[in-house]
């Protein structure tokens, strides 16, 4: 029973990251209808940024979060403005897809060239602090990270729901032509959206650093899980992405507990395919 509870908590804590990644991906997909195949690499960049800030400037990983978020936002905006917006005009889905795939290659191999393939980690004074809550043990950084995740998620909801820019983002995702007609600068929204999505991925990366090793392909599994979250939670739906992320985290730890840790990836992928196909079939039938 205590194993089960422990697995639940671990799943929940991990699921928070998938949610955050999924929400970033979902905003980008919702607004531009493109899948950001370098989302995981953005998380990796966020991890390395935190690593640099901690190792060379001695900034605590949690204090680094806002710095990383802002830097990543700028990076995302520049990428959107110089690469993605011009290619959106060609309306070639293949090209847009491989543009983000190429960006992912660029980032992960760029990191490989700069930092080498060694595994790096951040060990702060409280990295190894554990908290006992009944039968469940939790590392303090995981708990703090989860707390920050929840705050970021709530802030994101509020931003999209109540601010003017948030409303504009939602308007563009529902109808870009209509949004342009009522005077929304769609290109500006694209830049903001991509920056925001990338910043969320970077934030997730910064929050991961204390209990996850940092290496050039660290983002890959998170990147693909973000896609799963988006698809399972519903394209364009932010609350759906949040729930799907938690579900995915739980599914992983549960399959590791009840079946075998080595099968948990397989089970995640298969579940994804089955959910996707079943749901599309239902939609197709209903039409």
Partner 1 sequence: MDSKKAVHTYHRNLTIVLGLILLVFILIPTVVKSPYILNIFVLVFYMSTLSMAWNLLGGMTGQNSLGHAAYMGLGAYACCLLVVKTGANPWIAAVFGMVVVGLVAGIVFYPCFILRGPYFTLVSIAFGESIRQVIINSEFFGRASGVGLPFGSDSWLDFRFTSKVPYYYVGLLMMIGVYLVMKKIDRSKMGFALKTIREDEDAAAAIGINPTRYKIMAVVISAMVAGLVGFFYASYIRYIDPELMVQAKSTESVLPAVVGGAAYVEGPIVGGLIMIPLSEYLRANFSSILPGINMLMYAVVLLAVIRFRPTGILGWYMNSRTKNFIDQKVLKKPSLEVLEEAELMEYQKREV
In the complex, which residues of this chain contact partner 1 (CB under 8 A)? 29, 34-35, 83, 86-87, 90, 92-95, 97-99, 101-103, 105-106, 108-110, 112-113, 116-117, 216, 220, 224, 227-228, 231, 262-263, 265-266, 269-270, 272-273, 276-277, 280-281, 284
DSSP of 62-105, one letter per residue? Answer: HHHHHHHHHHHHHHHHHHIIIIIHHHHTTT-HHHHHHHHHHHHH
Least distance in angstroms from the C-beta of 114 to partner 1: 9
- The number of C-alpha atoms within 13 Å of 249 and in the hemisphere containing its C-beta is 23
Structure-token pair, residue 224: 């693909």
Rounded alpha-carbon distances, angstroms, from residue 222 to 4, 11, 39, 169, 226: 24, 14, 8, 25, 6
Query: What minimum distance in Å lies between the beta carbon of 78 and partner 1?
Result: 13
Q: Give 103 or 250: the residue with its C-beta nearer to partner 1.
A: 103
Instruction: State which residue, 199 or 229, has the beta carbon closest to partner 1.
Output: 229
Phi/psi of residue 37, nearest 5 degrees: -75, 0
Rank residues 25 and 71 by Cβ distance to partner 1 and give the closer one: 25
Least Å from the CB of residue 272 to partner 1: 5
Smaller CB distance to partner 1: residue 75 or 184?
75
In the complex, least distance from residue 100 CB atom to partner 1, rounded to whole angstroms: 10
Nearer to partner 1, 57 or 113 (CB): 113
Retrieve residue 262's tokens.
Answer: 């080595």
Shortest Å distance, C-beta 156 to partner 1: 23
Nearest distance in Å: CB 18, partner 1:
15
Closest CB to partner 1 among residues 82, 132: 82
The neighbour count for residue 91, using CB atoms within 10 Å, is: 8
The phi and psi torsions of 148 (rounded to 5 degrees) equal: -60, -40
Q: How far is the CB of 14 from partner 1 (least distance, A)?
A: 18
Say if residues 196 and 24 touch (Cβ distance below 8 Å). Answer: yes
Closest to partner 1 by CB, 146 vs 247, is: 247
DSSP 132-158: EETTEEEEHHHHHHHHHHHHHHHHHHH
Tell whether the torsion through CA atoms of 15, 21, 26 and 29 is positive or negative.
Answer: negative
């Amino acid at each position: 029973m205590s194993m089960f509870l422990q697995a639940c908590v671990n799943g929940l804590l991990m699921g928070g990251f998938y949610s955050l990644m999924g929400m970033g991906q979902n905003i980008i997909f919702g607004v531009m209808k493109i899948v950001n195949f370098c989302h995981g690499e953005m998380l990796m960049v966020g991890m390395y940024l935190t690593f640099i800030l901690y190792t060379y400037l001695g900034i605590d990983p949690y204090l680094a979060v806002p710095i990383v978020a802002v830097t990543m936002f700028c990076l995302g905006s520049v990428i959107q403005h110089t690469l993605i917006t011009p290619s959106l005009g060609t309306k070639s889905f293949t090209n847009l897809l491989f543009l983000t795939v190429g960006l992912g290659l660029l980032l992960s191999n760029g990191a490989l060239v700069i930092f080498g393939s060694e595994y790096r980690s951040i060990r702060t004074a409280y990295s190894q602090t554990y908290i006992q809550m009944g039968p469940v043990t939790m590392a303090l950084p995981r708990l703090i990270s989860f707390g920050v995740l929840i705050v970021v998620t709530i802030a994101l909801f509020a931003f999209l729901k109540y601010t003017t820019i948030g409303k504009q983002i939602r308007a563009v995702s529902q109808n870009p032509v209509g949004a342009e007609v009522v005077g929304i600068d769609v290109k500006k929204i694209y830049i903001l959206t991509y920056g925001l999505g990338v910043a969320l991925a970077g934030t997730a990366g910064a929050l991961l650093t204390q209990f996850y090793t940092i290496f050039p392909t660290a983002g890959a599994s998170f990147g693909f899980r973000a896609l799963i979250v988006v698809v399972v939670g519903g394209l364009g739906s932010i609350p759906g992405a949040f729930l799907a992320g938690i579900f995915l985290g739980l599914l992983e730890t549960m399959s590791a507990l009840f079946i075998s840790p080595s099968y948990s990836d397989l089970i995640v992928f298969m579940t994804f395919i089955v959910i996707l196909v079943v749901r599309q079939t239902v939609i197709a039938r209903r039409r």
